[in-house]
Amino acid sequence: MECTISEERAIMDKERITIGACWDGRDYYPVDYIHRLYNSVLRNTTHPFDFVLNIGPLAEKRRNEIDPRIRIIQTGLPYWWSGMQFWALSPDGVETDTLLYLDLDVVILGSLDDIIEFPSDQAYMRDGVKTNVSASLLRCGAGWRVFDEYVRAGMPQWDPLTPPSNRLLPLAAQSILDDPKYGRKYDFFPENWVCSYKLKVRKSGMPDDCRIVVFHGRPKPHECSEPWIKENWR
């Protein structure tokens, strides 16, 4: 179906935004996870966007495997810690006011426009009584205190696949956001827009108008067989 002239003009007038993600270069998340996320965003927003991928040292030698449309930022931080830089006041590689950070292991089911246009400078997924950063909306560096607290904690860099028992910030940015001293100066998306596969979908079914399903922990999308995953995760 072709767009009308008025529809094309409306799309052209949309704010340019940044989609952020991170990758450590290991095969826990194969490189095709990056491209599936990029293509899913392309299908599900009318906003023009830059796709910025923060990488760690292990990913440096695999740059040539990544689609050239994706802007790669070497953070020097290993594992999931490279993603922490998206919470800095002025994140490297981000040239727009609005940033939507997404974990690589999300499945996008519908339009992201309402999430991108959500009336908040800082909004997250509600995960039960806690915060989940798998989908994070940040405007104009509004999450700077998260990165500031990470630096204050000494910028821990332990491996999340083999975490030490005495680790600081056990859930990285989520640990900071759920700390009472942070003050919860942020908002939550409507719970049906962004939901957990493990805690919500698998137990209670897909909520109406769900836009993003988060696969934190196990299983991951490639380990599941539901038709809606095959249809949307590509």
Query: In the prediction, which pLDDT does 11 show?
Result: 54
Burial class (CB within 10 angstroms; exposed 0-12, middle 13-18, buried 19+) of 215: buried
Q: Phi and psi for 177 in degrees, rounded to 5?
A: -65, -30
Mean pLDDT score across all residues of the chain: 93
Q: Where are the domains of the chain?
A: 12-232
* Nearest alpha carbon to residue 107 among 173, 3, 200, 27: 200
Residues 98-112 have pLDDT tens digits of 999 999 999 999 999
| pLDDT exceeds cutoff 50 at 5 | no
CATH T-level topology, domain 12-232: Spore Coat Polysaccharide Biosynthesis Protein SpsA; Chain A (3.90.550)
Separation CA 40–CA 192 (nearest Å): 19
* Nearest alpha carbon to residue 101 among 127, 51, 135: 135
Residues 45-85 have pLDDT tens digits of 999 999 999 999 999 999 999 999 999 999 999 999 999 99
Q: With residue 229 as reference, give the H or E element that holds it.
A: helix 227-232
